[in-house]
Amino acid sequence: MSEPNIVLTRIDNRLVHGQVGVVWTSSVGANLLLVANDETANDQLQQELMAATAETSGVGIRFWTIDKTISTIHKASPRQHIFLVIRNAQDARRLVEGGVPVKNLNLGNMHFSKGKVQVTKYTYMDDQDKADLKYCADHGVNVYVQEVPEDKKQPLEEVI
């Protein structure tokens, strides 16, 4: 099996929306959005809404569980420029543990919820998030915060 051409992996609680589906997709030169999220892989309504955004950008879109992503992504064609979108740090860690070759992990929106503290304007983390992201970094992943492509990248070690 060959290594998939993952142009970027992004954590965004919202998954695919205008900013991800249009701005980021064109910025990284993706032609396929791969949403790796267990809940969304089984939610037809969410898929339809996200597919409409992908269609606007003229790219393909797939909805896979984390396990399917781990077992299938290595079968990707070299011509697929994959933008991998996930919901949280736990899914990022599962992908890295499962052997998905994540090189760059962009932290986009990680919304506030109970127990999370603000580390940047749009990024909230708890101790588990920090541990999972540190695990990814310790396994060769370049982890950084960058809301939009025009923003300066903030390395993980600067924000936690």
Active site residues: 17
Dihedral (CA of 70, 123, 29, 48) sign: positive
Q: How far apart are CA 47 and CA 35, in angstroms?
A: 9
Q: Are the CB atoms for 82 and 7 separated by under 8 Å? A: yes
Continuous segment of H or E residues that includes residue 158: helix 156-159
Q: How far apart are CA 128 and CA 113, in angstroms?
A: 13
